[in-house]
A and B are shown apart, each in its own frame.
Chain A
């Protein structure tokens, strides 16, 4: 499941990590808008490549690379679906520009994965929860959110143990037709659900034992405060957004194909 590696937070001290989570979330939103705003290969390529320095500054290259590798299947799917659609629509004729357009759509997907990955890799779920809290979202929701993230590696480990246990009882997951394979996952899912429920009950007990629900007015050890860097980053992002809209409205971005051919 290497595609998920690019979304697991890693505690490293970099300027990106130190940015306020709200700013980073704004960043993913801006990237989303920009990715949708443009469908030209050149523009999307710039957006994709433009984020790479951020990955390097945040020192999360390896995790990010693993996610990119993990998304390969989806990438190919998007590329070929787009290409086939255009080819069919054009009366089964192929033109190089279709390749470019399909690549552009693929890049759009990659840009979204990339920006969200940068956000998740550099933002601690605790800080994210804090950001949500300070934005007015009720605490129980923020807590549920953080806890599910917190639990994911634990549940993944449980799943692995269960798979090991069942394989040791002769269960062969790689064999059989489609239906058999689905059936073979029951011995994995049932214990996993039971284990997860048990885990949640234990967590609930522990929460109660630490005075969960004592008061509506929960306080917090730390607080998110926007610093100078955060404000500068916000301004830059908004400027970027404005610039992009201006470019979209005023100019026409050419196809790479027409430039080459």
Chain B
């Protein structure tokens, strides 16, 4: 369980990025932290594995204050997948890349071998085992970065802007994958401003909406993303389906519709009932 208690954070250059954020994330939840660029989302998740320590307030991961343990210790439990895989590749083979963290965390050579094979299979990367990560395509690199984190099987998985630069098919696969990981009991947190991606998740995640370093909403996606004032304040755009139903509110149709299949069902019901 993650507890964020009234966290304030000011960067060394004086910018106050978090102005009193409080949050609780239980084990096994699927949470989307959303907001415009600069709202503080990434700053917030950097606190969850101890990379940043609050200037005021505290962060507890499974009851342990992040200021009392090292980033390496926290990372064992909290796996953070960064936005740009190029900011971490340095080995000559994909295999070594995945082994890197496992070695750092002190796994036995035998376990490392097994884990690497498992992670590569999971992400469909078996054929790239001995390839240099630098020769892979953008999408493949992202999969390697994810495999590298999954290899040490963290209980909590955080993905920072996983949909940037991805095409439709890649996003579909990513979404299926995230939902699968979550259904296996892992806590999954995604940081994103991609409302359509979140709207397509079934079941829809919990959405924590941020703006100006504060949390301005925290609830089910169906409630938060369909609320025009909140979405406006977060400088986001409502998912298309939600916008449609917003316009048709006067016809008595429900307003908290996010996904397109649900939308069809409701429309057909109304149409047939006429």
Where the two chains meet, the residues of A that have a C-beta atom closer than 8 Å to any C-beta of B are 158, 161-162, 164-172, 186-187, 189-191, 194-195, 198
Q: Assuming A169-B104, A187-B100, is B76 touching A162 (CB within 8 A)?
A: no
Q: Which one, B51, B84, B101, contacts A170 given CB within 8 A?
A: B101
B87 touches A (CB below 8 Å): yes
Q: Is the interface of A mostly helix, strand, loop or mixed?
A: helix
B27 touches A (CB below 8 Å): no
Contact A172 B84 (CB under 8 A): no
Contact B75 A169 (CB under 8 A): yes
Q: Which one, B82, B89, B148, contacts A164 given CB within 8 A?
A: B82
Contact A165 B72 (CB under 8 A): no
Contact B105 A168 (CB under 8 A): no
> Interface size for chain B: under 10, 10 to 19, 20 to 34, or 35 or more residues?
20 to 34
Contacts of B76 in A (CB 8 A): 170
Q: Assuming A168-B71, A168-B80, is B134 touching A194 (CB within 8 A)?
A: yes
Contact with A along B137-168 (1 / 0, CB 8 A): 00000000000110010000000000000000
Contact B86 A172 (CB under 8 A): no
28 contacting pairs across A/B (C-beta < 8 A): A158-B87, A162-B88, A164-B82, A165-B82, A165-B87, A166-B88, A167-B51, A167-B72, A167-B75, A168-B79, A169-B75, A169-B100, A169-B101, A169-B104, A169-B148, A169-B149, A170-B75, A170-B104, A171-B104, A172-B70, A172-B104, A187-B90, A190-B89, A191-B86, A191-B87, A191-B88, A191-B89, A198-B86
State the Cβ distance, A89 to closest chain B Cβ, in Å. 43
Contact A191 B90 (CB under 8 A): yes
Distance in angstroms between the alpha carbons of A191 and B88 in the assembled complex:
6
3 tightest A-B contacts by CB? A170-B104, A190-B90, A169-B101
Q: Assuming A162-B88, A187-B90, A194-B86, is B104 touching A168 (CB within 8 A)?
A: no
